[in-house]
Structure 1
């Protein structure tokens, strides 16, 4: 029995072949899609709230506009999609599209990530943001790319200390306290200073300090306010007068998902991400000033770092955290050397 092939059948065959081709599938996938952005910070709006949540919402709105709706986004704030420490694995495997998260949270999977919270290495916003186009930034981007991550926005924040007792200014103030540092390298310094390290993401600090499981926490000015740590603190060490604790907390995208976007979509994502770095810097600096006022109104004692204390912390960091980090791998040693090289041009 013979089958006749009419024009409609032939047309369907051709269309079916085109639709099943890898190039067509990639083009169709990139043409219109919905993406998820995860973070651990309190939800707000475009105009109010934690600036990191606002930045995610601004990014989503602007990229959708620039791509004429071919890219849409859903924001999952306050760890509503997944736990903070699970985000990196999900990004690397392509199970999550984007996340705004402290880079040091990736240290278990990528030890090089702790360069983003290396005490005493970055001491100003201008130095931190200078990394992006310097050798250190290019090398970090290369390493993270191999780990399946793309830095969309470079976001730096200065850190302070909330304490249930006296303010922590010099290393000797840590002795005998249960302290959260935020990274392996911070923990090494705090242990060297005589503290007991307690590890947790920033959204768990309030409960730990309230219960007494934690005496003090090093975290960003924004988190010091967003997580209402003034409610459980009697003292604040403000970063206004200088600080040795600067954290890289970027907006990251899964490289698997980024590579599947069209060239125009990729360009929109990266352009908007770069534009929002100015907003992030402005908001971080504003929060550095605001945090002291918030804690003072709550009745907390507000202290600031002085040059002598900063020198003590840096010397301790160089002999403990820096040495430990550079010994972990060739990549870590190279990153630290490049970061120190960038300091020489300040």
Structure 2
């Protein structure tokens, strides 16, 4: 910008009406929606805490130029509406299981594929591997930016017998949490029930559900120990891993100046350590929670894990890879990360 042009611009700002200057000075207000119970920065579901920590740090880093409103427990919109709203630019940020949009965007289901990720080390290695770079590109094409990679292991709460091997699910009404997990459960003889994680407690309480697979954090936050008799934890390994990232609308992200984009990207990455530690703490805490309530706690062993993987490979993995070329490419890249 030339000196004359800059002076002209500064002069225009100085002589502009006060209401116009005030409008230019207003901070950008961004909305964060998620489906998990609300709390505070210090207490509660770590996914809600992470959103609050992110908002506080972003506001501090940008000296108040960015402000955030956080809507927990699906208060702003239903959980299944969050990713479509994000993609259309109708929502700014969300922390949500990507499987919630798996029906409309089947490619996203690679991050909830049973048995494909079996450890936190493997999951977090995706970010800088070929699979992570390709997955970020696919999301960007759909108008979505990943700010924090958040992997969570999951377990199974059951009103009856614990579900350890696939045959244990036979004849039970089970919530799997993703299209692919549902395929495996059907193969194992279960009666599959689909619902968001925040609906599990009521369904189990009413007897509409016998067992539910969900993250350790959700097992705790939704107090499933109060409506279940047993839990299979992720402490000994898990075939149920899901990416539940902090996401931002690309429309909202692209509107920000580059320094603010860089700040949000760095803050999101810095919080991944907190997310990983918190998820692993929840894996251990859920066992103590159920034991304290008089329930039965069991863990998976290597043989049980392989049984679930064998079913997954011959059903869900095959089905996913055949859906389209992008799915096939993502699956092939993901399989490269399996030790």
Query: Which ranges of structure 1 fall in alignment gaps of 5 or more residues?
Result: 1-10, 20-24
Distance in 2, matches of 1:276 and 1:230, equals 29
| 1:137-167 CA distance string (max 9 Å, x none) | 0000000100110001000000000000000
Distance in 2, matches of 1:98 and 1:179, equals 30
Paired position in structure 2 for 1:277: 272
Distance in 1, matches of 2:26 and 2:309, equals 50
Question: Is 1:328 aligned to 2:326, yes or no?
Answer: no
SS of aligned partner of 1:131: helix
Question: Is 1:174 aligned to 2:204, yes or no?
Answer: no
RMSD: 1.8
Instruction: Name which of 209, 219, 226 aligns with 2:221.
Output: 226
| 1:20-64 CA distance string (max 9 Å, x none) | xxxxx9xx8797211000000001101000000000000000000
Question: Is 1:295 aligned to 2:321, yes or no?
Answer: no
Paired position in structure 2 for 1:339: 334
Distance in 2, matches of 1:232 and 1:301, equals 13
SS of aligned partner of 1:81: coil
SS of aligned partner of 1:60: helix
Paired position in structure 2 for 1:3: none
- 1:286 Cα offset (Å): 0.5
SS of aligned partner of 1:172: helix
Paired position in structure 2 for 1:240: 235
Runs (4+) off by over 2 Å: 28-32
TM-score (norm 2): 0.93
- 1:129 Cα offset (Å): 0.4
- 1:15 Cα offset (Å): 4.4
Question: Is 1:93 aligned to 2:88, yes or no?
Answer: yes
Q: Which has the larger radius of gyration?
A: 1
Paired position in structure 1 for 2:193: 198
TM-score (norm 1): 0.91
Distance in 2, matches of 1:103 and 1:154, equals 11
Contact 1:121/1:340, CA 8 A, preserved across alignment: yes
- Counterparts of 1:1-346 in structure 2, within 5 Å, are 15=12, 32-343=27-338, 346=339
Distance in 2, matches of 1:317 and 1:342, equals 16
Aligned length: 325
Distance in 1, matches of 2:323 and 2:94, equals 26
SS of aligned partner of 2:156: strand
Distance in 2, matches of 1:328 and 1:300, equals 41
- 1:109 Cα offset (Å): 2.0
| 1:285-318 CA distance string (max 9 Å, x none) | 1001110000001111111111111111000000
Distance in 1, matches of 2:25 and 2:175, equals 42
Contact 1:30/1:260, CA 8 A, preserved across alignment: no
Distance in 1, matches of 2:210 and 2:236, equals 23
Distance in 2, matches of 1:132 and 1:307, equals 26
Contact 1:30/1:261, CA 8 A, preserved across alignment: no
Distance in 1, matches of 2:114 and 2:90, equals 32
Query: Which ranges of structure 2 fall in alignment gaps of 5 or more residues?
Result: 1-7
| 1:177-233 CA distance string (max 9 Å, x none) | 000001000000000000011000000000000001000000000000100000100
